[in-house]
Structure formats: C-alpha cells, structure tokens
Structure 1
C-alpha cells in the first residue's frame, strides 16, 4: 500500500471489517471499553489467530464476535495473556489503534516509496491477511517487489497472523539466516 489517501480502500473490504471499524475514532475504544483489558487481549488473540477474517454484522462490534468458550491458541499461554494485559493496562490501546489503522491515509511525503535495502517477509500460510482483496496475488505474484525489489519471502505453513509469537524459534532462525546472508 502506498502511503496517503490511496492506501485507504475500504470500498474493497467487507462491510463490518475490523480495519474500517477501528479507523473510526472512538469506535474501538467504546467496543473495548465494555470489557476488562485481559478480555480484550484474549479476544484479539483468539479472533485474529484464525485463518478467517473477523467480520461483524451491522448490529455487532468486533468484540461481539468472540466466543468465550474458545480456548487461547496453544502457543499463547495464560501467563502471556497476563503479561500483555498488564502492559496494555498501563499504556492503553490508543497507539496500537493509531498505527496502522488510523494513520493509513496520512500523507508521509514519500514520492517514491521503494525499499532499497534487502528485506525479509515472514508470513504464515494461514494468516487471514492473505484473504484481503488482492493481497495474496500481490505478494505471491511478486508485484510487491516493485516497491521492495530485494525482498525474500518465506511462508510458514502452520503460521497465522501472529507467526512471530506462534513459532518464535523458527522466525528467529529465519531472521538470523537472512542477516547472515547480508553480512557476507
């Protein structure tokens, strides 16, 4: 996505999609505010670890999609949940909502958005982002390399949106291998 107004193409996204909802100032805060912080974190990790895009109905908010009987992902422990909740209790959700959801349309003053250094994209095959309109083709076809010409892409078959937390050893190994290749 190019920075600026062209980045926000909500018309291509399903109605009730979390990104469009969270772009609205105050909407996510009101939705999240109905729950304690630990429940919000649990909801987010449960909803966004799925390979399906969370979409709310007209009479729902995103947090309404959570099914309390759904267990945490096996790689996200109760201790992880408590740690994250304690951090968000201190910081709140303002910044995570600002970047990226509410800053997508900001013009950054970049006229030629090319990444000219080697880059690595590690992505889970089950990441729901691949289901965004046109995203899978954009990445898999190599069109993304128009903006990041020296990009290496690695897919982790079992990986979800939180692949870095799901399989940290594998992700760390891939990063170290990538960095080692750059230093040769």
Structure 2
C-alpha cells in the first residue's frame, strides 16, 4: 500500500483525488469504484497489475473519498463522472486505457467505452452488467417498495436513516448487507440500516482496518453525492443513446451476489441477451462470489484481470 502514490487533478474547478501506482505506460488500467467504496477497494488489484508491468490508476469520484464535492451534489450525473474521467486521462496524457468498473462503476465504464471507443482498450466489469434502456425496464424497477435502491431514491429518507449512525457504521452495515446473497428489502415500517443487527460480524475478508479506512473518508465526504450518484441518477434519462459496446469486454459475476437474484438477471446474463449489446464479451461466473468479489477473492480476480489484459494489449 505504501507504494501507491496520491495526486490531485483539477477538473472544472474540482480537485479530484487519484491513486496511482506503476510505470507501465502506455499499458494503463483505470479502476472505477462502486458504493460504498472508494479508490481503496481496488488496493489488491492495483498492486497486482503494477507488478505485472501496468500502470494502475483509481480515482475517487467527485463527492467521494478525497475528491472535492460538486457545487450542486443533487444535480451530479453519470455524465459528470465520464467528463471527469476524460479530463483525468487528458491531464495525465493517457491516450488509451483499460477500464475496470465494479458495481455502479460499470456504468461510467460502459458509457465511456460507448462515447470514446478510441480511448478504450477494453472493459472489465463486476457485479452489474450493461443494460440498455431499449431492452425494457431495468431489473431493479421490478422489485418492491422496500428495495434499498427505491428507498435511497426517496429524498430525505436515506439521509434520516444514515443520520442516526456514524459514517463508519453506515459503511459497515452496507458491506454486511451487500455481502449476502439475499436482496436487501425492508419491511414497510423498517429502514434499510435496521436490516443489520449490530452484533453481526464483518465478512471475514474485510478487516476492521479496512473499515476504518472507509469510515474516515466517508466522515469527510458524507453521503450526499453518493446518494445522488448512483441511486437518484438511476431515475433520470442520461441523454445518451443506447449503443453497442465495440471494445473487448469481460464480465465477472459472483453466483452469491445479491444482484444475480434480481428479476430476470440470470436469464439476461446466461441466455445471450447481454452479448447482443456487448458482442466481444467473455462472461465468468464465480460459484462462491459475492458482490465484493475483488476484495473477497483478490487472487482469483487478479488472475482473471491479468489474463484479459494480456489478451488485449
């Protein structure tokens, strides 16, 4: 971890934090985190790809981690994240990169690959497949009112729920919830944070030291931007046409990931429908994988990533 350097890139007046390791120019890998994550969630992968001769970069999105918040967090969008990514690549003089996104980090990865294929060598995503709007309602739209995304989309509700706890406990609860294979759904008069008993231990692959790292940064950033992107942004029309992803891609899904239990998700991934939008796609299912496969099974994920990178340099 001490080998990872930290720098800031100024984009539209915001100082965005970028973790950086390795000297493998022009072979560069950009890691895009999900929620409740930050650059730190890629610690195992960054070190592995750097040792293999690549340069690894992991930004904190605007409003996350050590990056500045946007001036109007409730208007932040996925397009902002992609514009930030483009500006970071330009500032660091990186003409083409591999993109690796996990959870909602898959969205900016696919959007960037669709808008800027000339800057994209390949895309690896974990936990969340590419879903075009033309394929019908998103799987998340078919779940009941108590589904965590629906609850967090409601202005003020998550703020009140999270506000009863310190940031470290919120992150702890979400890590425990999202590590289960059961979809997080609350009863009518229950809040999402109440789905986790305070005596429940952390997943065995996530240490108190890890939790402390996340907790400190969410104490700094809060959850305002994180609730907007991704959860409240899901409801909006991104203004981006559906497109076919034309670059090589790898999709990794844990079979014990709660997202795999979303309505229609297994059929979408396994029937060939996903490959209609991402033709040059390899799909890997991990029987024991949860939503946090890159932290749960770093050696296995590192091997899959390095194999993919080696094929497409």
Name the TM-score, length of structure 2 as normaliser.
0.55
Shift in Å, 1:16: 0.6
> Paired residue for 1:56, among 182, 186, 193?
186
Task: Report how many residues are paired.
Answer: 182
Unaligned runs of at least 5 residues, structure 1:
none
Secondary structure, aligned partner of 1:155 = strand
* Structure 1 match to 2:231: 101
Secondary structure, aligned partner of 1:181 = helix
Larger relative contact order, structure 1 or 2 (CA cutoff 8 Å, min sep 6): 1
Shift in Å, 1:167: 1.1
Secondary structure, aligned partner of 1:25 = coil
* Structure 1 match to 2:15: none
> Paired residue for 2:296, among 159, 166, 174?
166
Map 1:56-75 to 2 at 5 A: 56-75=186-205
- For residues 229 and 283 of structure 2, what CA distance do their matches in structure 1 show? 23
Q: Is the 8 A contact 1:3 1:107 kept in 2?
A: no
Unaligned runs of at least 5 residues, structure 2:
1-130
Secondary structure, aligned partner of 2:235 = coil
Tell me, yes or no, if structure 1 residue 142 matches structure 2 residue 248: no
- Which is further off, 7-16 or 20-29? 7-16
Tell me, yes or no, if structure 1 residue 23 matches structure 2 residue 153: yes
Structure 1 residues 22 and 7 mapped into 2: Cα distance closer, same or farther (>3 Å)?
farther
1:45-100: CA deviation from partner (whole Å, max 9, x where unpaired): 11110011111011111001111121100000000010100011111112222222
Structure 1 residues 28 and 7 mapped into 2: Cα distance closer, same or farther (>3 Å)?
farther
* Structure 2 match to 1:156: 286
Q: Is the 8 A contact 2:146 2:188 kept in 1?
A: yes
Shift in Å, 1:11: 5.3
- For residues 96 and 154 of structure 1, what CA distance do their matches in structure 2 show? 28
Structure 1 residues 10 and 51 mapped into 2: Cα distance closer, same or farther (>3 Å)?
closer
Indicate the structure with greater strand content.
Answer: 2
1:94-118: CA deviation from partner (whole Å, max 9, x where unpaired): 2222222111132233223221101
CA RMSD of aligned residues (A): 1.8
Name the TM-score, length of structure 1 as normaliser.
0.92
Secondary structure, aligned partner of 1:104 = helix
Q: Is the 8 A contact 2:143 2:263 kept in 1?
A: yes
Secondary structure, aligned partner of 2:174 = helix
Shift in Å, 1:121: 1.0
